[in-house]
Structure 1
Amino acid sequence: MSTFGALNTAYRGLTAAQQGMNVAGQNIANAATEGYTRQRVQQSPLAAPAQGLWGAGAPQVGQGVSVDAIARLGSSFLDGGVRSAGAQAGYASVRSSALQNIEGVLNEPGDNGVSAALQGFWSAWQGVANQPGEAAPSGLVIQAANTLTTRIATAYQALDGQWSDARGQATDAVSAVNSAASQVAAYNTTIRSTLAAGGSANELIDARAKLTESIARLAGGTVREQADGTVDVHIGGNALVMGSSVRTLALTGAATMAGSAATPVQLEWADRPGVAVGLDGGQLAGSLSVLAPAAGGSGGVIAEAAASYDRLATQLATDVNAVHSGGLTAAGAPAGNFFTIDATRPAALGISSIQDPALLGAAAAGFGAKDGHNADALAQIGTRTTSPDATWQSIVTGIGLQSRNAQQHETMTAAVATSAETSRASSASVSLDEENVSLLTNQHAYQAAARVMTAVDEALDVLINRTGLVGR
C-alpha cells in the first residue's frame, strides 16, 4: 500500500467511526420514542486492489472499511406476532366490554334490578290477599306493576342505546382503518423511492409498522413484505393495501337494533357492495359479533339480552293474565287481563298494566266481594319452578357466565399481546448501556484513525519536505 493509500484508509476509518457515533446518538435520542427500532451501522472490509503485472505475487493489505448500510434491527417474525396478538386482544376487549356493560344494565343483584321489582310485585299481591277490598294494598299493586314494567322498559332502552354506541364505534373503527391504509400506501411510495435512491428509510419503516399494527388491532389481517421495501396488507384474504394502491371498507346495515334483524350490520368492500369482508380478529370483528341480531341465543350479545327482556315481559303478561282473568273484581264483575302488550312495539317496551284498582281481580268466584283467594294465587306465581323469576334468574346467570368467560379471554389475550411486545422489545428497543458502549467503541476507533492519519501526514511531510537535505 502506498503512503497516500494509508491516508485514504485512515480517512475511511474516521468516516466509519463518525457514522457509528451518529447512529448511537440517534438511538440514545429515541430511547423513549414509541415504535422506534434501534439501528446499527453495517460495515465490511475493503479488499486489496487488483495486482498488476509488476505486483504479481506480492502480498497486499486491504483498503480500509466500507459503511454498507444503516440496518434497522427489527424482526418481521416478531412484528407479525405482535400484530396477531393485538388482533385477538382487540376482539376480546370489545366483547368483554360489551358484556360488562350489559351486566351494568341488569343491576343484578341489587335493589334497582328486575328481581327486586318482581319480588315487590308478588308481595303487593299478597298484601291484597291479606286485606281484600282495602284501597291501600290495591294501590300498592298498581305501583309495583308500574315499577316492574318501567324497569323492564328502561333496561331495554339502555341496551338499545348501547347497541347504537357500539354501531358508532364500529363506524369510527372503519374510518380509522381506511385512514391508516391510505397512510401505509403513502409510506410505501416514499420508502420505495428512498431505497431506490440509496437512502435510509428506517424511520419511515417504523412509522409504517405502527400503522400496520393499528390496522391489525382494528381489523386483523396479515402483512407481507416485498423486495422493493413496500408491504401489502391483506384482510380476509383480500388486499387492503398493495404497493401504492388502497381499497376502502364500508360498514353497512341497519342503524338501529330494531332494524338489525332485517338488515344485519356487516363490513363490505366499498367497490363490491353486498360482499361481506371476512375478519379473523380485531376490534371490528368483535363489534360485528356484538351487533349481530338475536338468533335464539346464538346471536349478538346485545340483541340477545334485549330479546331476553322481551321474553320476560311476554311470560310475565301470560302467567299473570292467566290467573287474573279468572278472578272477580270488588264489584263482582269478571276481571280481564292485568297486563297488555302493544303488538307494534317490542314486548319489553309495549307492556303495561291496568291503572284502576277497582279492576283488580282479587276475589275468586263463590267467595264474595271481600275474598282474596285469586290475589293469593297471583302472589304464588313467583314460587313456581317455571315462574318469571326463575326465567329471569336463568337469563342473569347466563349473561354472567358469558361475561366472566369474556373477561378471562380478554385477560389471556392481553397477556399474550404483552408477551409478544416484550419479546420484540428485547431485540428491537434501545438499551442505553449498549449504546454507550457502542459510542465509546466508535469514539476510540475515531481517535485511533485520527492518530493513524496524523502519523501518515507527518511521514509524508518528512518525505516531501526533508528528503535530500542531509549533507547540504
Structure 2
Amino acid sequence: MRSTFAGFTTAQLALRASQYGLDVTGQNISNVNTNGYTRQVVDQISLNLQNAGRYATVANVGYGTLVTGVSQVRDPYLDIRFRNEVAKVGEADVKLAGLQEIESILDEIAKDGIQTQLSDLNTMLQKLSSNVSSKEYENMVKSSAESLTKYLNQCAKQLETIRSNHEYNLTEVEVPEINNILENIAELNKSIKNGQINGTPALELLDQRNVLIDQLASYMKINVTYVPTKISDSLTIDELKIDLVGENNTINLLNHLDHVNLEIPSGTTQLNIVDKDGNPVKDANDVVIGEDIFSELSTGSLKGNLEFLNSSGEFDGANNSFRGIGYYQQMLDLMATKLATTFNDINNTGLDPADLHDMFASSDGGTITAKTICIASGWENSDYGLTASVTPDGSAPASGANDNILKMINALQANQSFVDEGTLPDDSDDITMFTGTFHEFISNLNTTLGIDIKSTKSSLNNYVSVANEITDAKSAISSVSLDEEGMNLIRYQQSYAAAARLMTTLDEAVDTLINKMGIVGR
C-alpha cells in the first residue's frame, strides 16, 4: 500500500515548485528594462521514486514535481547570426562615417570649392590676356593662383586631421577597448566557473558575458564555442573559447581564463595579436600568424577603420581595393602636381633652364603636393612675371602678344592625363588615374566619393535591417514580456493555491483515517 504520507510530499513539492515559479517570474519582471537580461524559466521534472516489480498490482503513482534548476531562454543559432551580422554593421558604419567626413571637405555643391577657385583663375587669365602689359591684372592672376593653392593646402590639412582622428580612435579607443573586453570576459569566466562549482547557475554573470561577446563581435568576426569540461563525476561545466575567424587562419583570442592582446606599434597602423608575454601569436606549426593581421580581418569595425586608413583604391594596383582616405589624399596630390608642372612648363617656355620662372613651387622644397603647393617665391616677390608670349627665334615678342597666356587658359580647358608614377624606369607600373580637364578631374573625384558613400550607405542599411530582424527574433525568445509574465503570475498563484488545497485535503483524509476509523460499536 502506498505510504500514508506520500501525498504530503507531493503537495509540499508542488508548493515549492510554485514558489520557485513566482520567484523567477518576479526576477523577470524586475529586470524587464535591464540591458542584456535574458528571460529565466524554472526547470521541472516529474518525480517518481517507486521501483515496482514486474508483477506488482499497485498503480505506480509519482511523488510530484522536482525543481532541478533555473535556466535562460536563448537560441544559440540566433546568437551566431546576430554576431556575424553586427560585425558587418560595424565595418560599414566606420567606413560611411569616414567617407562622410571627407565629403564635408571636398563638397563642391554646398560651398565654393576647388572648382570655383579654378574658374576664378581662368577668369583672371582671360582678363590678363586682353591686358598683358598690366601689372594690376597679373597681380589678380597671382592672387587667384595663391587662393587656389591655399585652398588645396587647407583641404590637405583637413584630410590629415581626419586621418589623425581615425588613427587615434584605432590606437587609443578601439584596440584598448577590445583588450578590456577580452580581460573582462576572462574574469567573468572565472566567476561563472566558481559559481557553478558552488551550485549556482550564475545566470546574471552569463548575461554580462553575452553582452561583452556581442560588443566584441562588432569589432571583428568571431566564433564562440563552449567546451564541456568535467570537474567531477557529478559536475561538468562549459568553458568558453573565442576565435577570430580570419581569411586564412583562425586565431584564438580567448581560451577560458587565458586571452591575447591586440597592439599597434608606435607610429604605425599595423595590428598585431600578442600572447601574455608580448610575442606575436603562432599557429600549431610554430608559424607566426598574429603579426600584421590586417589581411586576415574579414569584417568588423576594426577592419573598417584599418581599411579606411590603409587602402587607397586604384593606387594600390587593385580595382577592388576600398577607396580609403589615402585615395582622396593622393588624388588631390595628383591634381596639385599636374597643375604646377603644367603651368610651370608653359611659363618657362623659351627660357634658359638655368633661369626658370616657375609659377608654383613646394613650401618645403620637396615634391609638390596638395599640402605643400604654393606660389613660387620669385613670382610672389615680383622677381619675374608671367611669360606672356614666346617667339620661335627668341626675339622680343610684339607688344600685346598673349600667346603664352592663351596656352595657360587652354591648359585649364584641355584634357590632361593624371598619372600616378610608379618606381620602374620603363614606366610600366605607371597608372593613369584620370584623363580630362582640371574641372572634370574634381567633378569625377566628387562623383566617385558620392558613389562610394551611396554604396556604403546602402550596404549599411541592408546590414542594419537584417541585424534588426535577428534582434527582434532574439527578443521574441529571450526578452521579458510583461504580458507573458503576468500570465505566469496567475498560473503559479493558482497552482500554489491548488497545492495548498491538496495539502488541506490530505490533512482531512488523514484525520479521518486516524480519528474516525475503528470506533463502530463503542
The residue aligned with 2:19 is 18
Cα gap change, 1:374 to 1:111, in 2 (>3 Å): farther
Q: Is structure 2 residue 312 aligned with structure 1 residue 296? A: no
How far apart are residue 168 of structure 1 and its match? 1.1
Q: Give the AA of the match of 1:424.
A: K
CA contact (8 A) 2:413 2:438 kept: no
Q: How many residues align?
A: 458
Aligned counterparts of 1:222 and 1:307: Cα–Cα separation in 2: 38
> What is the Cα deviation at residue 95 of structure 1?
1.0
Name which of structure 1's ranges 278-287 and 335-344 shifts more when overlaid on structure 2. 335-344
Post-superposition Cα deviations, 1:245-283, rounded to whole Å, max 9, x if no partner, equal 11111123635xxxxxxxx53343353347133222111
Deviations 1:382-418 (CA, angstroms, capped at 9, x unpaired): 2112233233333222222222211111111111211
Task: Give the distance between the partners of 2:346 and 2:439, measured in 1 at CA.
Answer: 16
Deviation at 1:131, TM superposition (A): 2.1
Aligned residue in 2 for 1:306:
329
The CA deviation at 1:469 is 6.2
- Residue 347 in 1 paired to residue 369 in 2? yes
Counterpart CA distance in 2 for 1:317 and 1:110 is 27
TM-score normalised by the chain length of structure 2: 0.82
1:265 match: 270
Q: For 1:117 and 1:445, locate their aligned partners in 2 and report how far apart those are by CA, in whole Å.
A: 82
Cross-structure match for 1:233: 242
How far apart are 1:363 and its partner, in Å? 3.5
Deviation at 1:85, TM superposition (A): 0.4
Please point out which of 429, 433, 436 is paired with 2:486: 436
Q: C-alpha distance in 2, partners of 1:280/1:373?
A: 57
Given that 2:107 and 2:446 are in contact with CA atoms closer than 8 Å, whether structure 1 keeps it comes out as no
How does the TM-score come out when normalised to structure 1? Answer: 0.90
Amino acid at match of 2:252: A
What's 1:380 paired with? 410
Q: What's 1:168 paired with? A: 168
How does 1:405-444 map onto structure 2 within 5 Å? Answer: 405-444=455-494
Structure 1 residue 244 corresponds to structure 2 residue 247: no
- 1:130-149 equivalence runs, <5 A: 130-149=130-149
- 1:39 deviates by 1.4
> Residues 32-181 of structure 1 correspond to what in structure 2 (within 5 A)?
32-51=33-52, 56-171=56-171, 172-181=173-182
- 1:287-330 superposed Cα distances (whole Å, 9 cap, x missing partner): 111111647154661111111111011100111112222279xx
Question: Residue 27 of structure 1 aligns with which residue?
Answer: 28
Indicate the SS of the match to 1:285: helix
Partner of 1:359: 385
Compute the displacement of 1:219 (Å): 2.2
Normalized per residue, the structure richer in helix is: 1
Give deviations 1:202-254, integer Å, cap 9, x for gaps.
21111111100101101221111222233211113111111111111112363
The answer on whether the counterparts of 1:13 and 1:64 sit within 8 Å (CA) in structure 2 is: yes
1:189 matches 2:190: yes
Larger RCO: Structure 1 or Structure 2 (Cα < 8 Å, ≥ 6 residues apart)? 1
Percent of pairs identical after alignment? 28
SS at match of 1:226: strand
How far, CA to CA, are the matches of 2:176 and 2:323 in structure 1?
23
Give 5+ residue unaligned stretches, structure 2.
Answer: 229-236, 281-289, 417-436
Task: Check the 8 A contact 1:48/1:61 in 2, yes or no.
Answer: no
2-side partners of 1:449 and 1:232: how far apart? Answer: 44
1:348 aligns to what SS in structure 2?
A: coil
- CA distance in 1 between counterparts of 2:13 and 2:374 reads 90
User: Is the contact made by 1:292 and 1:303 (CA closer than 8 Å) also made in structure 2?
Assistant: yes
Q: Which amino acid aligns with 2:147?
A: T
Q: Which runs of 5+ in 1 are unaligned?
A: 256-263, 329-333
Distance change >3 Å, CA 346–CA 250, structure 1 → 2: farther
Kindly report the root-mean-square deviation, in angstroms, between the aligned alpha carbons of the 2 structures.
Answer: 2.4
